[in-house]
Structure 1
Amino acid sequence: MFCLVLHSHLPWLAHHGRWPVGEEWLYQSWAASYLPLTAMLRRLSDEGRSHLLTLGITPVLAAQLDDPHCLSGMHHWLGNWQIRAHEAAGMPDAAHRDLGAREHRASADALTDFELRWRHGGSPVLRDLLDREAFELLGGPLAHPFQPLLEPRLREFSLREGLADAKNRWNTTPTGIWGPECAYTPGMEIGYAEAGVTHFMVDGPALRGDTSLGRPVRDSDVVAFGRDLQVSYRVWSPKSGYPGHGAYRDFHTYDHATGLKPARVTGRTVDSADKAPYDPELASAAVDRHVADFVSTVRRRLRGEAERIGRPAVVVAAFDTELFGHWWHEGPEWLEKVLRALPEAGIRVGTLEDARTQGYVGAPVPLENSSWGSGKDWRVWAGEKVSDLVALNSEVVAAALDTVDKARSLGSAPGRPELRNRVNDQILREALMTVSSDWAFMVSKDSAAEYARDRAHKHAHAMREIAAAVAAGNDASAARLAAGWNAADGLFPGLDARRLPARSAASAVGVSGVAS
């Protein structure tokens, strides 16, 4: 069986800048990746196809796809895209006219799709596809924290709230998850089992490259599926992956008059000014060659692994969803053609849940600390370059939990139900936003590092400000501050601090995984 797994995630960007980092990132990914992906799944589903792929959608991305501000911003962005296409089409040279015509068709299609299906949010679009069984949904914890470094009670809370968020949006509680950064530490499988999670993703090296079957983790029944690097790197590799082919549209080269992308990659060492104009027919021919190559690669890998282990094998290829369309313009076309070509070549396509329930599971594995980051360890999120963020996260989490614990103990009375406390809710919400794995990743990779640090400290400041008012006994000020900060971002309205595990429960959730 072949399983295609896509992980859809962006940090919370609404109200936090536009360009070069901010809402523009969301709208570009939405237009180039999320619209084409759901349209493709709808087309294949209309043909009677199902169980096409496994799709992870993080709660923080789902929140943005449903957020009224983001929906309005996306509509405006699509309209602006069409205006820019008109400007290009009205220029005197043939190159701009061709670019404008091509971009006008694309923007018109996107606007039609968005206005017809997305104006009430992404949840109705995705729920329809889930009802059709077009894909398996993977969930995840709220705000995308690096779970091994997270205090165990907050780790459990974040996961359970994330799964509840999926239930609220799609009437589906995922049994599989893509843990942020594929990060794992021993003990997490216990928390997964208690939350109802039956399977999750790890990177191939975490299984020492033996990804031919899912593997139960330690003494649990929770199954880890590993990304097959030999197959995934046919697409993903920055040195030899398909998106770097000379015929494909170049991501980094802009036409400064219109903000559109007019060039093809041409060559890896070619300067932007020297890149050749984009040719859709040339790109489409390259897609067909790369589809054939990928199908051949999957077939060889499946046969080879089946012969090696003496039984039918599974191959899992896993990628960020945003690779297809946002980073690799031709990615959606490639995806649809691959999903058509694989069954035509006699290759069975299924989801991770299909693989788990249909017996593609081997012997238990003593999984150790791992991630899918550089070195396959935790250096990106816990290394020297981000030591300040690690310290910040520890301080914020400790303060948040201490404040909420004290408030809950003072506010409870024997024999009476605990009432919801919006101040406690907001303290935990800001703490989770502070520890998002995105901030450390962006700093370690020197990708908008200043923005990332600013975001982490902004949420930390919000938590401290509310907690200080609580500590001072100024309940009115705490409530006003909590309401103000909640209005500023307005995500995760279902988060409920009453569901935070009691302090005594921490020993049951894998304390060994907490960084010293």
Structure 2
Amino acid sequence: MALGYVALVLHAHLPFVRHPESDYVLEEEWLYEAITETYIPLIQVFEGLKWDGIDFKMTMSLTPPLISMLRDPLLQERYDNHLAKLQDLSVREIEHNQHHGHLRYLAEYYAQHFAQIREVWERYNRDLIVAFKQFLDSNNLEIITCGATHGYLPLMKMYPQAVWGQIKVACEHYEENFGRPPQGIWLPECSYYEGVERMLADAGLRYFLVDGHGVLYARPRPRYGTYAPIFTETGVAAFGRDHESSQQVWSAKVGYPGDSEYREFYKDLGWEAEYEYIKPYIMPDGQRKNTGIKYHKITGPDAALSDKAFYDPYWAREKAAEHAGNFMYNREQQIDHLAGMMQRPPLVVCPYDAELFGHWWYEGPWFIDYLFRKAWYDQDIFDMTHLAEYLQHNPTQQVCRPCQSSWGYKGFHEYWLNDSNSWIYPHLHKATERMIELSLVEASSQLEEKALNQAARELLLAQSSDWAFIMRTGTMVPYAVRRTKSHLLRFNKLYEDIKSHNIDAGWLDKVSTIDNIFPNINYRVYRPFLKEVGKSVGA
């Protein structure tokens, strides 16, 4: 019998980026890159494990914006074209490098890789949610939800209806797509404040994730630290992140992704190739961009981009297997030690952004594949589990009140509220007050109902924590500012039109076509004193 458990948790999320009003928007490629480098490679890993009889267990969030984009026909068509250009470029690269042995080898590798991506894409008829759902149905993959648009909940807690809107809309969207209610939720940015668990319970959720200090500083102090979940007073469980295992994976400096054999992210053919040659594969206005074809490896921590050696996927795969073995060994030692101290099976929760695996760390899906295989065949110290299964087998836990926290810089809310982004919150709060006011309106016509529902969508989209995050990081800031302002402006126009009983039907049609997330949303979700929310949205 195993001494403990390891729970690998991946958080798959991208902000809702969809621009039917434009032929090309660079930010849409965030999705296309993630499909090619993360989501389909993970599906390939899961398929291979099932084919080989490995009963893997893993938890993965698929956020409502990501699900909506993956199932959107316009974005599916645009990704199909994006992948076709990648395949065309990889074939051209084979011919272009026919006299350079290693570069031809790499070009052939990419051509084969993109062909395999195409095969999966077409086999599931462009619907990757169907692909992920099959593993949910087989109980290998526990899929959980998130906030409706990844809104940062502690910064809207003064408006419980806004928090409830993020949670309730997400749960309803999950059930529409997976045919069952979600059991767990990845709180956006793992951000927790005391009281949100009441709403989670009212929404039917059984557990959520927080950073380690959210559990370690709970009241009373948890007897087992982060190595067991705690139950809140509502009965909803909180799982805390294990920092030791997390740092080994996510850190590019001391973790696995920084190894010299792995692919260099920042040296891409889109910036390296001769301009006229690469021009058909970069931005329509002629600006260079990443293509996803990268021929060099990290080489060393101090190696300049000009000094990078050529990449070799064979040796990178060998290194991923070595690192998976090291990760497994460290968890064996950790769990063996903890089991002796705790006198009960410890749980090590290892949560990461899904896009780390494949997009930022190209070899990440190989690492996951090897980890599950090695854990299945080469050790008997721990079982890999997903969080719902763990709770099913361990229904008794200590009752505590978690500590306010996030997994951002310094562990609290500073990354989403600082000099770079504080200007957005007065506007968001005013819009929230107006949405609560609108929720009390009884729509007198289909047009008014449509406008009220669109107002709810615009508020949710403006609340996305991604925009404040981007403003803080200093990358793509104009886009984040533009998105925040555009949703707020659309919301305010809708509010004024509804209040004046003068709705611009043509403009509303245009906006609802662009921002078409949550087609079944009901604006009444923002009403105060909803019976099902109970005291969480009370006076």
For the residue of structure 2 that corresponds to 1:427, the secondary structure is helix
- Structure 2 residue aligned with 1:96: 103
Q: 2:235 matched to 1:221?
A: yes
- Structure 2 residue aligned with 1:154: 162
8 Å Cα contact 1:216-1:222 kept in structure 2: yes
Q: In the TM superposition, what whole-angstrom CA distance separates every residue of 1:471-511 from its partner, at most 9, and x where no partner exists? A: 22213x2x433322110132210111133333577882278
Q: In the TM superposition, what whole-angstrom CA distance separates every residue of 1:127-171 from its partner, at most 9, and x where no partner exists? A: 222222221111122111111222211211221111111111111
* Higher mean C-alpha deviation, range 204-213 or range 483-492: 204-213
- Structure 1 residue aligned with 2:322: 289
8 Å Cα contact 1:404-1:427 kept in structure 2: no
Structure 2 vs 1, CA of residues 21 and 227 (structure 1 numbering), >3 Å: closer, same or farther? farther
Structure 2 vs 1, CA of residues 21 and 211 (structure 1 numbering), >3 Å: closer, same or farther? farther
Structure 2 vs 1, CA of residues 172 and 291 (structure 1 numbering), >3 Å: closer, same or farther? same
Q: 2:371 matched to 1:338?
A: yes
Q: In the TM superposition, what whole-angstrom CA distance separates every residue of 1:31-50 from its partner, at most 9, and x where no partner exists? A: 11100111211222234444
- Structure 2 residue aligned with 1:395: 430
* Higher mean C-alpha deviation, range 353-362 or range 316-325: 353-362
For the residue of structure 2 that corresponds to 1:348, the secondary structure is strand
- Structure 2 residue aligned with 1:490: 516
- Structure 2 residue aligned with 1:508: 535
- Structure 1 residue aligned with 2:287: none
Distance in 2 (CA, whole Å) between partners of 1:18 and 1:276 is 37
Distance in 2 (CA, whole Å) between partners of 1:374 and 1:176 is 24
8 Å Cα contact 2:528-2:538 kept in structure 1: no
- Structure 2 residue aligned with 1:415: none
Match of residue 116, structure 1, among 123, 126, 129: 123
Distance in 1 (CA, whole Å) between partners of 2:57 and 2:189 is 23
Q: In the TM superposition, what whole-angstrom CA distance separates every residue of 1:431-488 from its partner, at most 9, and x where no partner exists? A: 000010100111112121221111111111111111121122213x2x4333221101
Q: 2:210 matched to 1:195?
A: no
Match of residue 227, structure 2, among 187, 207, 212: 212
Deviation at 1:23, TM superposition (A): 1.0
Q: In the TM superposition, what whole-angstrom CA distance separates every residue of 1:347-367 from its partner, at most 9, and x where no partner exists? A: 211110111121175312221
Q: 2:189 matched to 1:185?
A: no
Match of residue 365, structure 1, among 400, 409, 430: 400
Long gaps (5+) in structure 1: 413-417
Q: 2:380 matched to 1:324?
A: no
Deviation at 1:305, TM superposition (A): 2.0
Q: 2:39 matched to 1:14?
A: no
Amino acid in structure 2 at the alignment position of 1:489: D
Q: What does 1:406-485 align with in structure 2 at a 5 Å threshold?
A: 407-408=441-442, 411=444, 421-475=449-503, 477=504, 479-485=505-511
The aligned length equals 501
Deviation at 1:392, TM superposition (A): 2.3
Deviation at 1:21, TM superposition (A): 4.7
Distance in 2 (CA, whole Å) between partners of 1:202 and 1:51 is 24
8 Å Cα contact 1:234-1:242 kept in structure 2: yes
* Higher mean C-alpha deviation, range 12-21 or range 263-272: 12-21
For the residue of structure 1 that corresponds to 2:180, the secondary structure is coil
Q: In the TM superposition, what whole-angstrom CA distance separates every residue of 1:297-322 from its partner, at most 9, and x where no partner exists? A: 11111122222222111111111111
For the residue of structure 2 that corresponds to 1:201, the secondary structure is strand
Distance in 2 (CA, whole Å) between partners of 1:470 and 1:102 is 57
Amino acid in structure 2 at the alignment position of 1:359: N
Deviation at 1:2, TM superposition (A): 1.0
Q: Please tell me the root mean square deviation across aligned C-alpha atoms, in Å.
A: 2.2
Deviation at 1:89, TM superposition (A): 0.9
Q: 2:302 matched to 1:269?
A: yes
Long gaps (5+) in structure 2: 218-224, 279-290
8 Å Cα contact 2:59-2:387 kept in structure 1: yes
Deviation at 1:373, TM superposition (A): 0.5
TM-score when normalising by structure 1? 0.92
Amino acid in structure 2 at the alignment position of 1:77: H
Match of residue 379, structure 1, among 414, 426, 447: 414
8 Å Cα contact 1:443-1:452 kept in structure 2: yes
Distance in 2 (CA, whole Å) between partners of 1:511 and 1:3 is 36
Distance in 1 (CA, whole Å) between partners of 2:87 and 2:395 is 47
Structure 2 vs 1, CA of residues 3 and 423 (structure 1 numbering), >3 Å: closer, same or farther? same
Distance in 2 (CA, whole Å) between partners of 1:61 and 1:74 is 14
Deviation at 1:411, TM superposition (A): 4.5
